[in-house]
Homo-oligomer: A and B are copies of this chain.
């Protein structure tokens, strides 16, 4: 594809290959696309996000988005890998001493949701999955492959994936009431008060046979 005319020259052209400027191609552009995709999906949800909108936000040609990522579904998959990256660390919260593992996991997830930078994209991923079949399938596949397999490998209980999903479902449901529907008093409750109640539940699901 034809590189944009802007950006610094990078020396004599190799024969047969167009000059690449960091503004229009290459790893920096790829990163900008991914960051733009994350922002677009977070702000608009899956349905209302388009390749064109992502390309515009990243200041690249839409064809470059397809080049690096493929279809809208595949862009979404890459974007939510980025968005959910902090949550992928959840299993590490389960490492170490079994004692208090439930509280650590609950506190870890609430840490992500309480952070005003990481919360909107995560809620947008959940909302997209709850309203769009394609988005749901992408999220499902990613969580089944990445998070729960890892976690299940750590858990010493029967049906570990089932237990992990009970735990995740509990936390997700609380997050929906607190951050999205904003029901009182749970919306204004102290995280410590929620963790005090919910931590032992997560503990039982993840560690008790």
Contact = CB atoms under 8 A, between A and B. Distances in A.
Nearest to A45: B131
Contacts of A144: 183-184
Given A169-B173, A173-B173, A193 B162 contact: yes
Interface in A162-209: 162-163, 165-166, 168-178, 180-186, 189, 193-194, 197-198, 200-201, 204-205
Interface SS of A by simple majority:
helix
Contacts of A178: 169
A135 to B, nearest CB: 9
Contacts of A136: 180-182
Interface string A145-169: 0000000000000010111011011
Interface of A: 45, 126-127, 129-131, 136, 139-140, 143-144, 159, 161-163, 165-166, 168-178, 180-186, 189, 193-194, 197-198, 200-201, 204-205
